[in-house]
Copies of this chain bind each other. A is one copy, B any other.
Amino acid sequence: MKERGYELEHIKTTYPEIQADTINETIVPGLKWLMERCDRPIMIDDSGLFIDALKGFPGVYSAYVFKTIGCDGILRLMDGVKDRSARFECCIGFMRPGGEPSIVKGVSKGSIALAKAGSGGFGYDPVFIPEGHSETFAQMPIPEKNKISHRGRAVEAFLKELPRLLES
């Protein structure tokens, strides 16, 4: 963010995450909760992997599912499943003191690999092949991944919105 003229400070804190079906539904109460405790502009982000054949699982609970059954669990659930389409979503929420919560989203469409591949990235990266590519996120150099990743896209969308958000 620095090269774009914004200074970002990392606040080491957690906030209560609500159980919900979409990332947006967890981010809005999170922003409000943090705003009551930190009187300054706040940005939070949250991501999830949504697999079509599994009705969106692991979705909003991707972090918990990764901690428990991991990539191997996802591959087991997808064993023999033809429709392997999936998407990563990243939502960035922003709120200013006295302002309203605002959210932008970045999406990266792709499919679930037949086996883990690559050692870069983190989380489900070894089993996610982005659309138009033959390698998983974990096999890509970070700058290349950032160009097409859900988080990279969400950050771009957020930076585009930010001047308006800081003015209004």
Determine if A142 is an interface residue (Cβ-Cβ < 8 Å): no
Q: Give the size of the chain A interface in residues (CB under 8 angstroms).
A: 22
Q: Which of B16, B19, B29, B79 contacts A64 (CB 8 A)?
A: B19
Determine if A69 is an interface residue (Cβ-Cβ < 8 Å): yes
Of residues 39 to 70 in A, which have CB atoms within 8 Å of B's CB atoms? 54-57, 59-61, 64-65, 67-69
Q: How many copies does the complex hold?
A: 2
Distance (Å) between the CB of A13 and the closest chain B CB? 15
| Interchain Cβ contacts under 8 Å between A and B, 15 examples | A16-B19, A19-B19, A19-B26, A19-B61, A19-B64, A54-B73, A55-B68, A56-B68, A57-B73, A60-B64, A61-B61, A61-B64, A61-B65, A69-B77, A76-B76
Q: Closest chain B residue to A64 by CB distance?
A: B61
Contact with B along A1-26 (1 / 0, CB 8 A): 00000000000000011110000001
